[in-house]
Structure 1
Amino acid sequence: MTTSEAGDQVAGDTREMNMIEAINSALDIMLGRDDDVVLLGEDIGYFGGVFRCTAGLQEKHGKTRVFDTPISECGIIGVAVGMGAYGLRPVPEIQFADYIYPGLDQLISEAARLRYRSAAEFIAPMTVRSPFGGGIFGGQTHSQSPEAIFTHVSGLKTVIPATPYDAKGLLISCIEDNDPVIFFEPKRIYNGPFNGYYDRPAKTWKGFAEAQVPEGYYKIPLGKARKVTEGDALTVLAYGTMVHVAEEVCRQKGVDAEILDLRTLVPLDIEAIEESIAKTGKCMIVHEATKTSGFGAELSALVQERCFYHLEAPIERVTGFDTPYPHSLEWAYFPGPVRIGEAIDKLLSE
């Protein structure tokens, strides 16, 4: 076991993995390391999950460790809360983030408050995995980005990886954490970060790439942002798919941007944000969710409060539109090269 400069604990050989494979590897390792870890959800057992993130795990670890549930998100989350209070470390999967709403009461009223309500006699060490965001033409009920809802709830942690390496290391940290965590997986990049055609449908994407990921156990600490690129012209705050989109737009425009992949929204690495904006003086926030009350609003407020005297221009937000999620027009809904490019030009002209 070694520790990287970023604080990541890394072990063993590496191999190329996409995000699905990295998530599967993390779950496999934790099932093998800790008998208290159990996986539950719709179609995750024999079928291996709708996106195949749990493929082969029931066969390897047994039906009592990896098992299917009825179509009841409230039931899935409620059972997981009870498992955590009993002493297990459940990892429930909600098939799409859009389906998580029936389980909100269990998450907000039970899981998030259990430690405080019981004076730490009981905890809810559960990690709720769910694919989120667009990119597969799933329409209004398979494409939402509800992360801001969970960041509002005291007692919940919210984690969103942008790379296979981060997905595995962060997921292991989440499973070992003693608090409930919402782990959103950007399905647009499940099969690997892409480069090039960010503003076109998936069938025209080119250059799918995988990442070198350690095959063994390693952790990435929660609450630590990743500096994607160094730069002096402006700071870009993003997470999930939008990290790759923003990076490509800045590359194509030749902008010397410092891009921070937040990785965890709660806890948030506000120190990294402050340090970057003190250097660049300008801030752009990019996320796929709708603009009004999106997490970018919280980021904007924090930057205004903590970095006001460093700012040389108003904060720019590039987000999804305040509309129901469009099906056939989802590529216009995403922040892409045109809108991100316009925001960059506006910031650099100030």
Structure 2
Amino acid sequence: MSAPHPPRIAVVGSLNADVTLWVPRRPSPDETLHAERIAWFRGGKGANQAIAAARLGAEVVMVGRVGDDTQGRWLRSGLEAEGIDCRHVASVDVPTGLAVITVDPDDVSIVVAAGANASLDAAGVQAAAAEIAAADALLLQGEVSAAAARAAAEIAREHGVTVVANPAPYNDVAPAVLPLADVIIVNRAEAEQLRRPEAGGGVGDLRSDAVLVETRSAAGCVVGAPRVAETAQLSQRAPDMPADGATDADREITVHAPQVAAVDATGAGDAFAGALAVAMASGATVEEAAHLAVRAGAWAVTVAGAQPSLPTAEQLAGFGDLAP
């Protein structure tokens, strides 16, 4: 009897060169502030989530665009070193995407220039249709065009592939993709945008059987049905406690994260998303997958940089084990 294949993950998303600056505080208007440290890292939400999944044992195919430049070759080589299929990471005559990240004692701020990422269109995604259709799960974010993300989601839905959407940043990709998503991963700010119909892609547009996962940084995450989030803040009720009149499908579940000493939160959300997708592609429920995802996110904040912080399965073994 042959062993089951490793989980197969398709990622349609961005690849960025990240320049990270550590600053003592956020600058005031018109102020020049000296950074305490500077470092370059491979990044981009799509590439980060692809590597997060690969390090946890998944077979990963990446669909994206880089510039025909030094940064683009650097980013591709990083993916290939992780064993990721890059046949659909094409080079274009546009500079590779760039992210400028500032890390202060309280938070992380990111400014992204899409660059080559904006060149990925629906036709480029269709070229990877066979790989998307063969996946167990598709990971999408908000750093490529809405047309490209929508095309990927449609292919996945047609072939019964689980669509995991992380609308970060929250933009025009959200209304294009969220109605097709099986699982939506948002942070607090994105959850607020999701609850406002004028932001596009509101809760009312989501499938009735979709699951919403709201990450809460050091507090872990909350898993629930989107229709619950439409009328109330997540996790106001006790874990596993349905609202009055709600069915079991409406319940919200809080998954706590292990407590760690944070160094850099960059990439923690991508570690979470990659781990959640791998666990679900391996047969776990969303609640079960969330227990792995919060541990991956917690590990990530203990290491500087996005991709250097993404944990392997061996690193997570026994790390932050919590009772379900």
Taking structure 2 as the reference length, the TM-score comes to 0.31
Asked which structure has the greater CA Rg, the reply is: 1
